[in-house]
Chains A and B, each alone.
Chain A
Amino acid sequence: MDFQTFRQFVADEAAALRIEAYELYYELFESTSASAFRHEINEFSSSSEGGVCLRCLVNGKMGYASTQLLSEESARALVRRAADNAATLENDQPEYLAEGGQNYQDVTTNDAPRPTADALRRAALAGQDALYAQAGVVDGSETQIFSERICIAICNSKGLDLRYENSFDGAALAAVVSDGTEGGEKANEYKISLGELDKLDLGADAAEAADGARAALGAGVPPTGAMPVVFSPKAMSQLLGTYAGVFSAENVQKGLSLLKDKEGETIAAPIVTLVDDPFYAKSAMPMPFDAEGSPTFRKNVIENGVLNTLLYNLRTAAAAGKATTGNAAKENYDAQVEIQPFTMYLASGELTQEQLLEKAGNGVLIDFLGGLHAGANTISGDFSLQSAGFLIENGKKTAPVRSFTVAGNFFSLLKGIAAVGNDPKTPTSESPTAFVSPSVLVEGLSIAGK
């Protein structure tokens, strides 16, 4: 059964139950990938997955239910389940559905035909050749080439009827390098690129992954103590992604973010400007509307150190007496509407990474953070995270280091940003949410090493 037929059964059942306000969110995700190992294709997958989520308003409460089964029976059951769930809810905040007939910015999407299975396999094998051409690369180095197509449709009882389709390809190259001795040390690094298959530069990606892995060989452990830290673009965007939830008005209103009553106040160093941009030029998924169907727009979340705005959806904006910022998001079609940025980026400064290292003097350059889901407390802001990177000695990047931790607090870190670099990397997120940052110098974080 197609979505349009299913939609009619839902409308019939909603009418029968006298439910007047509801929304259907449909998502179809098609993904094909080929993986290669030791110059042979070892795995291939072709998946087609998606489903429908119904949200309906019953006595002012928004009930949810979702299904992957598109049939008359499941359509009717979906309405009854969502209505039953609505009856359980006790949240007092009024709920809203987006109005139809709003204006949306045009975005560039890709509707070119997807590459053939054969093209994906050839590229995966080419990726293997590119990896093995690099010095030190050994077995275990895997290549995956993928192609994704996504379709999102949102319609509601207020006349909203939106559709979004986009597709992109990508490559993930994982380099494992050895120090060349029998049973010796190994290190690994990966590189993900998104874009049209024929425009991917597998040679450059392989070199970057292998160079990164080789640079980590022979890593030592840094000394323990408080010292300046330069976060690489990768590490800083990991940290931003972990703490983005603090800017969610929903978390603030639920007492789960320390940014309550902080709009208009200074929360970061004056050199910090943090932007949320649904139309970020290098995003694989520019979005004209959010998960509730509201139009999206670019905004400064932090402007010169001042918290300009939190991120809102319809409900939290109404509760705060504001307009939505178009940041409603769903982790998956079946998920609750939450709040997320689109491409959130720290605006670049003037300095190169080398200049940041010079300013740091002696400290560490952190290029990787691990265990962010566990070692970072998104409520208190405290973090203590596994790290890897390089020593900074006399203003220069020197020996590789790993098996140490960096500890601090995200809110203090925002205020302690001493310099911002000019070297942001292209985002590699396959969803509308992505995080981008240049290198950043932060004074006085705690390093636990030897």
Chain B
Amino acid sequence: MISKEICERVLQKAASTGADYAEIFAENTLNHTVNLVGGKVDSVHDAQIAGAAVRVFLGLRSVMATTVDTTEAGLLRCAQRAAEALAEGKAEVSVTLRERLSGDIHPILVAPTSVSNADKAALLKEACAAASGYDAAIVQVTGALLDVDHRILVATSEGLWTQDRQIRTRMMVNAVAEVNGETQTGGCRPGARRGMELFETVDPREVGLHAARQAVTMAGAGYCPAGVMPVAIGNGFGGVIFHEACGHSLEASSVAYGNSQFCGKLGQKIAHEKVTAIDDGTIPNDWGSINIDDEGTPARRNVLIENGVLKSYMIDKFNGRRMGMAPTGNARRQSFSFVPTSRMTNTFIAPGNDKNEDIISSIEYGLYAKEMGGGSVNPVTGEFNFAVNEGYLIRNGKVCEPVRGASLVGKGSEVIQKIDMVGSDLLCGQGMCGSSSGSIPTNVGQPLIRVSSITVGGR
């Protein structure tokens, strides 16, 4: 992309007013999506993102400038803008870059950019046809097959020059069902840091059937009753509970500014002793995995909570300065135009020893949230919410009829103390997480868990 020699000159310019750290992040990304509506290819999104950001630090001050002009002259102008905005001093800085080969623990067998639109459309049609044919109640099916080929370069005044190529593929199917005049939707969205070989392990027809089954089940369901009750939350995307209730509040972007309920709690018991939670960017080929983060720090496995005790935050370089702590390989950004900050990768509650049947049978009256939707959190107060996409009432320890329209709300620091049963069937689900540094791929995950009491929104 950009040679070491050009990067050296740009970093020297960036640091010329006295920065104590300078960094270039450059990218060339191809985003490609085939969209299907009603069995036909409706649109193809095909975008090339290319540009660079120069960032400089001086103490606890950070400046970033971005440009789409990645010629040497364009980069130097960008560096000059950053330098002028940081300080008025003058400094002679010499930067010598050495290449680090970060390795690739996420092999790609078939790069999606080398596969035709027609072949991608054929896979998607298989999935959508399976959904349409599942039941006469299915009235519409939409689908998307998206792939991303994200090439990044990071060069810093510490002498680092390194590159990474991040390829991801994902299929998404949404089905709409109508039963007795009631419309509901179902979805399935598997993805991985893989190429087209993803579909050797993910059967497109199963993706379609999953979405259709959920839509038909929910269209026939009554409304979820409202109130405070015990809830069993299923594995896979159910892990969004930890992501929202706790994960965001452990990001340095909240902690460094005192805006988290978990500030100053390292080493303290903050969760039920059955809760061990991990953020691991090193899982081969997983959706949220990276080789290096967007500041060039190698990906790591960070134990966040161990048996209820807070062990680590997720930290980027800039916020790490204010906290006096080292970066943890969690600095991420949607693209060069976003300021990177600490974010999650693959975040999950580790398997426990409870049996699934014991978790269900322990609940006299409550909700089984089999599949969760998205959610959000206010890290200052810890108040979170998330939607239940597929829920069932539990009566006398048995899973009974499906219920629709449920959501769960609560306060993070309270709910993680109420996760009092943890099963063993760990599974992750794929999501896009939105925050100040944009929308990034993250995995959430957990085995089946029980929350002893939580507010269920319904009617």
Contact = CB atoms under 8 A, between A and B. Distances in A.
Interface of A: 37, 40-51, 53, 63-70, 74, 81-82, 84-85, 87-92, 117, 138-140, 142, 176, 186-188, 221, 224, 226, 254-256, 258, 334-336, 370-371, 373-375, 377, 379-380, 382-386, 388, 402-408, 445-450
B49 A68 contact: yes
Contact of B459 (A74, A370, A446): A446
Given A373-B374, A380-B185, A254 B37 contact: yes
List the 7 shortest-distance A-B pairs measured between CB atoms, nearest first: A405-B457, A446-B459, A386-B385, A448-B226, A374-B374, A90-B40, A371-B385
Most buried by A among B34, B118, B337, B373: B337
Contacts of A47: 53, 64-66, 337
Contacts of A447: 226
Contacts of B397: none
B84 A402 contact: no
B457 A45 contact: no
Contacts of A374: 373-376, 385-387, 407
B44 A45 contact: no
A226 B185 CA distance: 25
B105 interface: no
Contact of A67 (B38, B50, B60): B50
A403 B414 CA distance: 12
A14 B226 CA distance: 59
Interface residues of B, number: 77
Interface string B48-85: 11110100000011111111100000000000011011
Contact of B46 (A65, A404, A448): A65
B176 interface: yes
B184 A74 contact: no
Contact of B226 (A43, A64, A224): A224
Interface string B406-449: 11011100000000000000000000000000000000000000
B341 to A, nearest CB: 10
Contacts of A448: 226-227, 409, 455-459
B47 A66 contact: yes
B182 interface: yes
10 contacts: A44-B61, A45-B64, A46-B64, A51-B49, A91-B43, A256-B140, A375-B375, A380-B182, A384-B407, A384-B458
A127 to B, nearest CB: 15
A386 B64 contact: no
A223 B210 CA distance: 37
Nearest to A186: B380
A46 B65 contact: yes
Most buried by A among B41, B66, B68: B68
Contacts, number: 245
Contacts of A254: 37-38, 42, 140, 142
Contacts of A81: 46
B339 A188 contact: no
Given A48-B68, A64-B43, A68-B51, 19 more contacts: A40-B60, A45-B64, A45-B339, A46-B85, A49-B66, A68-B68, A69-B48, A85-B46, A88-B34, A224-B227, A256-B142, A375-B375, A380-B182, A386-B409, A403-B411, A404-B409, A407-B407, A448-B409, A449-B455
B259 to A, nearest CB: 5
Contacts of A375: 373, 375, 385-387, 407, 457
B407 A139 contact: no
A89 B43 contact: yes
A187 B41 contact: no
A41 B176 contact: no
A448 B411 CA distance: 15
Most buried by A among B47, B67, B459: B459
Contact of A44 (B41, B86, B118, B226): B86
B380 A187 contact: yes
A255 B176 contact: yes
B50 A69 contact: yes
A365 B42 CA distance: 43
Contacts of A51: 47, 49, 68
B62 A88 contact: no
Contacts of B396: none
A272 B66 CA distance: 45
A371 B387 contact: yes
Contact of A371 (B46, B61, B118, B376): B376
B168 interface: no
B64 A67 contact: no
Most buried by B among A45, A51, A74, A82: A45
Contacts of B386: 371, 374-375
A443 B325 CA distance: 52
B362 interface: no
Given A69-B50, A176-B259, A254-B38, A405 B226 contact: yes
